[in-house]
Amino acid sequence: MMKKIYTVLTFTALLLTGACKKDSAFLDVPPKQIIPEEIAFSDPALALSVLGDLYNRQLDFSSLDGDGWRSFVDFSEAFPSENGSYNIVQRTGWGYGEWGIWDYGYIRDMNLFIKRATAATKLTETDKARFIAEARFLRANFYFEMAKRMGGLPLITEPMQYDYSGNITNLQVPRSKESEVYDFVISEAEAIKYILPNDVNQKSRASKGAALAMEARAALYAGSIAKYGFKTPQVTLPGAEVGIPAGLAGGYYQKALAAAQQIINGQAGGYQLYKVLPDLSENFAAVFLDKSSVNQESIFIEDFKVNSAKVHGFTTNNQPFSISDEGLDAGRLNPSLNLVQAFEKLDNTYAPIATKDGQGNPLYYTNQLDAFAGRDARLAGTILLPNGAFKGKNVDVWAGYQLADGSILTSDDASHLAKLPGTDVAVQVVGKDGPVNGQEFRSQTGFYIRKYLDPQVGSGRRGRQSDVAFIRYRYAEVLLNAAEAAFELGMGSVADGYINQVRARAGLTKAIQGVTFDQIVHERRVELVFEGHTLFDMKRWRLAHIVWDGSKMSVGQLVSDIGLSTKKNTQPYGLWPYKYYNPGNPNHGKWLFKEVLPTAVTGANMFQMGNYYSTIGNDVLSANPKIVKQPNQ
């Protein structure tokens, strides 16, 4: 029989004499090609390189590498400024198979690793215990990711083998209940948390903190599906492969709170909110850039390293055009006005960005940034605003001149000049970074992404690229998970304490007293946007079919009901700045803003009941008749 051969990817690591280097060393060692099984489990360094491949194959809804930026421009939180991606804002609704994953090849590889590491005789018991615990963490985390999309799944924890008898019924495993998959994730976290290192500096490998963060998130998801499932009775199955009984909600919330509190109380090391820079917006942006030991907020990350095979082009794809390193690909991810206005004012109130006075006349601003002043510091830490700074330069965003008669003087590119009334010299009449309707690689909403954007010299070059990490679990989310679980358990003052810690870091010093469900939903949106939570939060709360109802939005709908958990969010709007040209007028040279729907936006997000659980492929159903179809099938 052919020997099992393992391909080793870029996570090849060193583990000499049982002592591991810091986890960033994963990315320093050049890859080997193949390792026979008997050799792979005879040396800890080789065993870890096989485990590194399993780390490298973990599933994230959003990512920074490849075309991962497209996952951020859905759900009306952003606009895709790339001609080939306009379909995202032109379609109405998502297919029932979208987001689905059913990868038992990866599950088998993890089960094989656990079995062979357990049987290994040339590894120390300490090494074996940690390796097995890490593989169990990866397996549980992957089951969690599949459950978020599919509901109940076959729970397979041993490698399955065909005996060539012609009978394959022993390989046909039915779906477990949705609750049983979540129970498995929670129980695995509990089983391995004391085996994994209790080390806040262990970030790209599993740690006690990562196990507890996974447990808290999974239990919170299960609790909310149980509590809010009554809103969608048609999204259930008789065998509970989809849907969780309401009576289980309290127990899951208790488990979520307990796991989160272990992290908060220091039982998994000293995780804490990142509070390093005096400018609160700069500080929030740095949460996602600082990979030094100073950053004790990140818990589990996908790491990257310049000058290795593991880098990504997120900055290349999304940096402002005028500040780009190569002046080519840029500006694809344009956050929406919908998201921008969601960031609260510092007095804890919600309001749209003011464009008109009480009589309907335009408001004029001396500086474009003045329109966004006095808001949650996370706004400028997440989104690059008009005239905002990046790499020591200011982004050049304006849509043209508004003349005294109300007409607009603009062009289709900043390099195409025009003459202002009463002048003889042609000048620039639109921003180098847009917005111009339909001009790809420039902002078409008036905004650029700031979160994850790498300010290092050369980070936007296709040759070098970026090594900013993607944070899968971080301490701020743990606090929000604890706040939500406490709220659902009727522990209002406890919930207030946790959510106010996150808000205070953002400059919202007026503490919440008596947190509401709407505030919990809002806080997760502004803190965790572009981190892969938006879809799954809306699904578990059974709000997705309400906020993405398939109907187009008016400006009136856009600027109303801000802060409500049920606010419609079906089309990404922009906010375009204009220079006012009226010599002699006191507002001459100032800025005014207009709400604009980019012309490419012709669809409206429609989330149907069939989207709550992704379709199971016909290949899976035909191979295993024990698999129960989804409600949408």
**pLDDT tens figures, 393-451:** 999 999 999 999 999 999 999 999 999 999 999 999 999 999 999 999 999 999 999 99
With CA atoms as reference, report the closest residue to 436 among 397, 390, 383, 388: 397
C-beta neighbour count of 309 within 10 angstroms: 11
Among the ranges given (89-98, 208-217, 535-544), the one the predictor scored with the smallest mean pLDDT? 89-98
pLDDT above 60 (res 11):
no
**What DSSP line would sit under 143-159, residue for residue?**
HHHHHHHHSS-----S-
Residue ranges of E strands in 475-567:
none
pLDDT above 70 (res 375):
yes
- For the chain, the domains span 317-602
State both tokens at 545: 């079919």
Spatial contact of 568 and 551, defined as CB atoms under 8 Å apart: yes
**pLDDT tens figures, 538-565:** 999 999 999 999 999 999 999 999 999 9
* Percent of the chain residues past pLDDT 90, beyond the cut: 83
pLDDT-based confidence at 165, cuts 50/70/90?
low
Residue-level pLDDT at 317: 93
Residue-level pLDDT at 459: 86
* Percent of the chain residues past pLDDT 70, beyond the cut: 93
What is the SS3 assignment for 172?
A: coil
pLDDT, mean over the chain: 92
pLDDT above 70 (res 224):
yes
**pLDDT tens figures, 565-579:** 999 999 999 999 999
Distance CA 188, CA 212 (A): 10
For residues 294-308, give the mean pLDDT: 94
Among the ranges given (100-109, 300-309, 485-494, 540-549), the one the predictor scored with the smallest mean pLDDT? 300-309
pLDDT above 70 (res 34):
no
Spatial contact of 160 and 171, defined as CB atoms under 8 Å apart: yes
Assign residue 141 a region: left if phi > 0, alpha if psi is -120 to 50, beta otherwise?
alpha
- Helices and strands (DSSP H and E) totals, the chain: 19, 18
Residue-level pLDDT at 69: 86
Is residue 484 packed enough to be buried (19+ CB in 10 Å), middle (13-18) or exposed (0-12)? buried
With CA atoms as reference, report the closest residue to 454 among 312, 299, 328: 312
Max CA separation in the chain (angstroms) = 92
pLDDT above 50 (res 493):
yes
| pLDDT: which is higher, 13 or 315 | 315
Residue ranges of E strands in 413-490:
418-419, 426-427, 448-449, 470-474
**pLDDT tens figures, 499-543:** 999 999 999 999 999 999 999 999 999 999 999 999 999 999 999
For residues 322-343, give the mean pLDDT: 91
Is residue 129 packed enough to be buried (19+ CB in 10 Å), middle (13-18) or exposed (0-12)? middle
pLDDT above 70 (res 483):
yes
